[in-house]
Amino acid sequence: CIADLFAPPADLSADPRVRVHTGPLLDQAKLFASGFDAVFHLASAVSGECELDFELGLRSNLDSTRLLLDGLRHAGNVPRLVFASSVAVFGPDGANPLPDLVTDNTLPAPQTSYGTHKLMCEYLIADYTRKGFIDGRSARLMTVTVRPGKPNGAASSFFSGIIREPLAGVDTVCPVDPDVTHPMSSPSNTVRGLITVFEASRQAMGGRLALNLPGLNMRVGDMLLALEEVAGANVRSRVRFERDERIAGIVANWARGATADRAAALGLQPDASFKAIIEQYIADCGQPGYPAGALQGLQA
């Protein structure tokens, strides 16, 4: 069963094994009590949206998660739930600046509404698990790059945009300095991480229910060097730097890098290189669901 705000691609909806429910999660209370064995909770209002619309963030991230958890609790069959948390749970506070690398043991101190919502949901899931209502675990995703399709409202959207748009032949702006660094992961490696966390036993998880997924700690300038190496100088030239103080201010309070030792103990590793991430995106663009013209820039 897929519950989403919008309908999935037609080929997925047509699969007889798939049931689709569209609309806000807050309208899906009966669905949550259906007695599922496994739940992947990916839905979220993203960072930029939450900063611009406080009520939207509360409804989409906190209220819907609470409704989901209560539905699963009342169903009574203790399903296994994987929650897509985020590296955004980490941030500096006045007394404790962020280390160069956040670890599984770094104290979360989110500096955005989005990161705060993710951390609150981690604690809710841990408590529902402690009470025996669910078997929950939270995977802290690194920024997923390169995402297909159009930009979204995330402050991190440009990490995909500075690769995706030039490959499509579209000029784009990078709103932060080239020396900004941040941990990121390809879509496929992120999915691999979510599945591995789902399949892991509580013993293998090592007690705590929230862990970092692996990522590459990348400098923006090096991302663009990899783009030029894969796609050429003409594609790279479609990216210009133009600082956006709102976005740059949000990103400045995010992790500059991360480690994932507990995920490594489950057999998970980062992508081989950022060049490999770009090459994978180019290869994936021929698959169903990717927009036409996604690689138009390679032909210009």
Question: Binning pLDDT at 50, 70 and 90, where does residue 144 land?
Answer: very high
Per-residue pLDDT tens over the stretch 204-214: 998 899 999 99
pLDDT of residue 257: 98
Mean pLDDT within 239-243 = 98
Q: Is pLDDT of 94 > 90?
A: no
Q: Which residues are tagged catalytic?
A: 114
pLDDT of residue 300: 60
Q: Chain-wide mean pLDDT for the chain?
A: 94
pLDDT of residue 29: 78
pLDDT of residue 228: 98
Q: Is pLDDT of 179 > 90?
A: yes
pLDDT of residue 293: 86
pLDDT of residue 32: 77
Q: Is pLDDT of 247 > 70?
A: yes
Query: Hey, which CATH number is domain 33-299, 3.30.420.40, 3.40.630.30, 3.40.50.720, 3.30.428.10?
Result: 3.40.50.720
Q: Is pLDDT of 108 > 80?
A: yes
Q: Is pLDDT of 161 > 90?
A: yes
DSSP-derived pairing of the beta strands 181-185 and 216-219: antiparallel
Q: Is pLDDT of 291 > 80?
A: no
What percent of the chain lies above the pLDDT cut of 70?
99
pLDDT of residue 286: 80
